[in-house]
Every structure is written in C-alpha cells, then in structure tokens.
Amino acid sequence: MTEDQLNKHESFLLELEDSDLRNRAQSDLLFSDMQAFKAANPGAVLEDFLCWHSPRDFVDGFLDFLMVFQIFFFQVNFLNV
C-alpha cells in the first residue's frame, strides 16, 4: 500500500462507529500483510512475521508482554494464509 492508501484506510477506520466492522477491516489488512510476507519469504514462521510486522513488540527474541495476549489471533490467521 502506498502512504496515501494507508492514510485513506486509517481515516476510514477512524470513521467506523461499529467496533466489529472496525476489527474486521483491520483484520483484512493484517491478513493481506501476512499473505504478502509468506509469499516473499517461503518457509517463514510466525515469529519471522511478527519481527518484521511489529519489531517493537519483539524485544531480544521475545514477544512483548501485551503482544502475548494477541498471539492466538496471529497464529490462527498466519496458519490459514
């Protein structure tokens, strides 16, 4: 995505009042990122994706405390890409 597209998508998310719709829209973008990452990095594992996608949450080879709570969501989606 270009910077303009990201800004447009961010504005779209901010305008959504329904949290379920907002979560689905964010999930779609994440799923797209996972697909692109796996296509560009055959054999990559979830930790590789997390390190690339969210480097601040992957400190000294370990996930940040808050990210641990979200890991199941990432695992399910990463395996289904």
DSSP code for 18: -
58: its two tokens: 């992957």
75 vs 29: CA distance, rounded Å: 16
45 vs 79: CA distance, rounded Å: 9
Please tell me whether the overall predicted TM-score, pTM, comes out greater than 0.75 for this model.
no
4: its two tokens: 């303009």
Specify the pLDDT at position 13.
78
Specify the pLDDT at position 36.
95
Specify the pLDDT at position 51.
86
Domain count, the chain: 1
Tell me which residue range forms the domain holding 72.
Answer: 3-80
Hey, what long-range contacts does 61-68 have (CB within 8 A, 24 or more apart)?
none
**In order along the chain (81 residues), what is the average pLDDT of each group of 10 residues?**
80 80 77 92 90 80 69 74 73
Specify the pLDDT at position 40.
97
